[in-house]
Amino acid sequence: MANWKKQWAAAAGGVLLGAALAIAQTAPKMAEPGKVIVSLYRVAPGKHLDFLKWMATREAISKEAGVGAVQWYTHTNGDSWDFVAIAPEPTKEQDAKVDELTKQKGLKIEFAAALEFRQFIAYHTDTFARGPLSAADLVRMAAGSK
């Protein structure tokens, strides 16, 4: 009878160990952070609504092309910027699709679009970044682990 209990305990331990190993192997790892473009805009005086309409039109085309949504932030206090946009960095294929759809809608692309855009802007900058991440994620990345 004692032998049966030992065999049962060993079998149960083996099952638990196997389950723990399976869970450890399938545990979610830190997802690769997304690539984003952080844009800071200072809009030309009197051009705020025109700027937002222009951007909304372009944003709708990007959505149609499968590019992820832009997160917009509006200035309420502090520094002299008006809007910050955080957008997923599109692939080359998405960029090509956006240009194709933009042309189909009779809108400007490339340098002509850049000149049109500048009529609304006093200043703007784009920064390529990774995220969103927590401080703990950054510590793990700095240590070389995910």
pLDDT confidence band for 30 (50 / 70 / 90) = low
Predicted local confidence at residue 32, as pLDDT: 76
Predicted local confidence at residue 55, as pLDDT: 98
Q: How many CA atoms lie within 13 A of 4 on its CB side?
A: 1
Report the mean per-residue pLDDT for the chain. Answer: 84
Predicted local confidence at residue 2, as pLDDT: 55
34-136: CATH class: alpha beta
CB 111 within 8 A of CB 32: no
The DSSP letter of residue 46 is T
pLDDT digits (tens, 9 = 90+) for 56-78: 999 999 999 999 999 999 999 98
Highest mean pLDDT among 21-30, 44-53, 132-141: 44-53
For residues 4 and 19, what is the distance between their CA atoms, to the nearest angstrom? 22
Q: Do the bridges between strand 121-131 and strand 34-43 make them parallel or antiparallel, or are there none, so unpaired?
A: antiparallel
pLDDT at residue 106 above 60? yes
Question: What pTM value is reported for the model?
Answer: 0.73
